[in-house]
A and B are shown apart, each in its own frame.
Chain A
């Protein structure tokens, strides 16, 4: 169910803050993949949608959105936090949570170590507390650059702890999803994270607290089939791939081509599964408005 987007042609990735030089990426399939910007120093990049060659600085100024066609490039979790949160207010939680390797998969363990070094992330999610538009929130942001944002025990545990603390501290939660779904390498344990995170969110909701989910490209599989679809308010960035099964899996199952625009944010809006599509530029303002309407704790 996660298969769909692996075959996507990669657009040229912006070097992360923590990645000083060009890096080799491990994609979700665990295959070593060179992400080599073909243009020196990443000064230029090509838009995946309109094909326009863009000056990187311009794209940066537009919060990683194509100035020509409005295509939203994928963001790393730290880029997202930087864009969204009030400066110097974000305090990350559980950064040192130790990886469980329940299936004793040594290859996976090695891969994780490599990824951690390359990305500076512990796993595919950053969680913590901070202020957004002056309101105190608990934030969770997934990073699709880390094993396709897949949810294993660490992601599930961090998320659950974050939601539980939000419940205790009576704070709203804002979760940005970007994930291929449950993490294969941790088997049944990953599957159970779906139940665990959903149950934590249930308690948060029962306490009368607000949850906002923002779906970003891509959100599929076990993440779509758990907390991602359970917010009081569900927003999505434009043109994100959002679905349960990946498009490739569906194509294989039904043996026919998929309709244009299938499993995009726009498709979900049309079918009644999300509340609004919000551009990156407006995201902070929209979330602030929602928080204000729910009387978030003003910092």
Chain B
């Protein structure tokens, strides 16, 4: 059953419950047993609906405008977040935000791809598609984190690096490549979390980490399913089919050993309860960081190398 069909059943069930509730009130009949049973069934239905999502349904959730963005999580998870701007070469890319903050009592560097929370923001943030200066800003902040031995936390959420004239002129390829090279040697712990869409090299440029985690309904892939369908089948309308084939869900990537873990989302998706989602993320990174830090720097770097070496 698809999510749509589940949702239809859920709606019907909700309607029925309301009706019975009203009926029992009006007629003074005690139907609480019946109602309880139905509520349970409804809850089960909801769970099932989101447990059996198809890859395409997950993509739909991952791309939802209401889905919490990097900044939403940053506000919940860290204190005293101070944004730091600019790549020192060309400009400041609003599609990538970064800065320093406290994670409880640990000073950290936080970097994230930032999608807009409405159309206006999305235009400003270029739908979370960074330009080279975004990646160079990220690298600058990572080098700074290395200098001060601060752990780095990256939030990945991008359809991909931007494709445009300026992006090519300023070396999109070089900017991403440089991040891959530098991150592989960076002498400080790095944790990357895919919170929505992990699109291609544009995502990987924040993803060469000691630990990579994904939210339950997020996706991470070589290309958007639309792009995949367009290249391999010359038909971008077959995106849904491509999504199935590409194995891009958090669960797929965990089974491949590409990522380290999957973070459970609130029922219906992270947008249903951003605060609860943020709590889960916070708890996880608070557990992970000391573990990574327990390695000597040499061990840390050799483990990071081996992690990608095996892929």
Contact = CB atoms under 8 A, between A and B. Distances in A.
A191 B200 contact: yes
A245 interface: yes
B35 interface: no
A193 B160 CA distance: 17
Contacts of B111: none
A201 interface: yes
Interface string A67-96: 000000000000000000000000000000
B171 A273 contact: yes
User: In the complex, which range does the number of interface residues on chain A fall in?
Assistant: 35 or more
Contacts of B248: 187-188
B13 interface: no
Given A195-B184, A199-B305, A188 B165 contact: no
A1 B223 contact: yes
A3 B308 contact: no
Contacts of A44: none
Give the secondary structure class of B's interface. Answer: helix
Contact of A184 (B164, B168, B201, B231): B231
A244 B176 contact: yes
Interface in A196-247: 196, 198-203, 205-206, 221-222, 224-230, 243-245
Nearest to B172: A244
Contacts of A191: 200-201, 204, 221-222
A224 B227 contact: no
A199 B180 CA distance: 7
B177 A182 contact: no
Contacts of B168: 243-245, 250, 262-263
Contacts of A105: 245
B177 A187 contact: no
B177 A259 contact: no
Interface in B148-189: 160-165, 167-174, 176-178, 180-182, 184-185
A244 B161 contact: yes
B246 interface: yes
A18 to B, nearest CB: 27
Contact of B201 (A103, A194, A227): A194
B124 to A, nearest CB: 17
A254 B164 CA distance: 6
Nearest to B167: A244
Contacts of A203: 185, 305
A1 B220 CA distance: 16
Interface in B188-223: 200-201, 204-205, 207-208, 220-223
A162 to B, nearest CB: 14
B1 interface: no
B309 A229 contact: no
22 contacts: A1-B160, A28-B231, A30-B232, A102-B256, A182-B200, A186-B222, A187-B247, A187-B248, A188-B247, A188-B256, A190-B222, A198-B177, A199-B180, A222-B201, A224-B177, A226-B180, A226-B201, A230-B178, A245-B167, A249-B163, A250-B165, A271-B171
